[in-house]
Amino acid sequence: MKKAWMIAAWLVAGVAFGHGDVQPQAVNTDGLEPLGEEWLSQNPYSGNELAIKVGASGYNQNCARCHGLEAISGGIAPDLRELGLGVEADEWYIYRFRQGASQNGVYKMPPFENVLSQEAAWAIRSYIEKRYEEM
């Protein structure tokens, strides 16, 4: 019985620490138009091929572990391909990007404001938009 308890504890610990305390990875936004200090509510890079390429890299480094490779969710976090297009979806996206999401005082998604740049945020959004179009 003691051995079974130890195995169960080890498995639970593996699940709890499986995501780990992962540090956000910098996103190289060289070549993208600088956006300034004030956060925009609409994606200025929508359809921009360089932004999509930068966003793919940024997404894979910072978002894929929860939202899934190629923005295809495995069920842990929302499937971002279903976010939609347009101003309303952009506003929801940038709010969630900046503020994160918490439940019962625990962050389910960390806030990325002051961690990643606005240029990185909108580049990632451009990549997500591209994945929506390919559905």
**How far apart are the C-alpha atoms of 54 and 29, rounded to whole Å?**
6
Q: Tens of pLDDT along 111-123?
A: 999 999 999 999 9
The encoded tokens of residue 76 equal: 């842990």
**How far apart are the C-alpha atoms of 28 and 54, rounded to whole Å?**
7
84: left (phi over 0), alpha (psi -120 to 50) or beta: left
Structural domains of the chain in order of their starting residue, each with its CATH number: 22-133 (1.10.760.10)
| Residue 76 or residue 71, greater confidence | 71
- Residue 19 above 90 pLDDT? no
**How far apart are the C-alpha atoms of 69 and 96, rounded to whole Å?**
19
In single-letter form, the type of residue at position 113 comes to E
DSSP-derived secondary structure letter, 106: E
Percent of the chain with pLDDT over 90: 67
Q: Tens of pLDDT along 84-128?
A: 999 999 999 999 999 999 989 888 999 999 999 999 999 999 999
Backbone angles phi, psi at 47, to 5 degrees: 80, -5
| Contacts for 48 with CB less than 8 Å, ≥ 6 apart | 32, 126
